[in-house]
């Protein structure tokens, strides 16, 4: 997850340089921060145990559900795709490539967490779903005030 904050800053600053607006950076930071907070609240309430130690290839000491790695990967990389989609004027193929890349990153993180024995499959599916919902809610509440993130109508 350490890689996500530099990505957020670079994408947000690049969007600001292009548009003069801080809305993309605000959206990306809010999405990432909301995901961290909500995932940790759910982990504290649910308290689901990890898979047995004999399956684990990594040492993890927090609750298992939902997967924070999956939630963050899906939320942030999808948010980056949304910023790029609405913040620039890419062609249809470039848009499909960006959305596809976000999907590949999300699925790869999910698969790695299960493979490493750090999570049950339901943990990563729940985390990815939560990340997608939180990103959509952040976009829903932040994009309408911003011309560079709002969908173009007409």
Q: How far apart are CA 144 and CA 131, in angstroms?
A: 20
Evaluate whether residue 63 is within a structural domain.
yes
Evaluate whether residue 12 is within a structural domain.
yes
Evaluate whether residue 153 is within a structural domain.
no
* pLDDT (0 to 100) of residue 123: 95
List the catalytic residue out of 69, 75, 102, 143. Answer: 69
Catalytic, 69? Answer yes
For residue range 108-137, list pLDDT tens digits in order: 999 999 999 889 899 999 999 999 999 999
Catalytic, 16? Answer no
Q: How far apart are CA 132 and CA 124, in angstroms?
A: 12
- Which domain, by its residues, includes 64? 4-145
Q: Which residues contact 102 (CB under 8 A, 6 or more apart)?
A: 74, 77, 78, 80, 81
List the catalytic residue out of 43, 50, 113, 119. Answer: 119
Evaluate whether residue 130 is within a structural domain.
yes
The pTM is what?
0.85
Total tally of structural domains belonging to the chain: 1
For residue range 70-110, list pLDDT tens digits in order: 999 999 999 999 888 877 767 778 888 888 999 999 999 99
């Amino acid at each position: 997850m350490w890689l996500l904050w530099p990505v957020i800053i670079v994408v947000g600053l690049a969007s600001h340089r292009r548009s003069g607006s801080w809305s993309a950076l605000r959206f990306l930071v809010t999405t990432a921060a909301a995901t961290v907070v909500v995932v940790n609240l759910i982990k504290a309430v649910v308290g689901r145990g990890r898979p047995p130690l004999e399956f684990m290839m990594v040492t993890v000491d927090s609750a298992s559900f939902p997967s924070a790695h999956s939630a963050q990967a899906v939320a942030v990389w999808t948010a980056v795709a949304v910023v790029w989609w609405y913040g620039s004027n890419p062609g249809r193929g470039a848009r499909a490539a960006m959305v596809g890349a976000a999907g590949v990153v999300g699925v790869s993180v999910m698969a790695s967490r299960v493979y490493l024995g750090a999570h049950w499959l339901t943990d990563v599916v729940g985390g990815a779903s939560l990340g997608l919902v939180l990103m959509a809610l952040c976009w829903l509440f932040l994009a309408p005030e911003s011309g560079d993130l709002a969908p173009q109508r007409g």
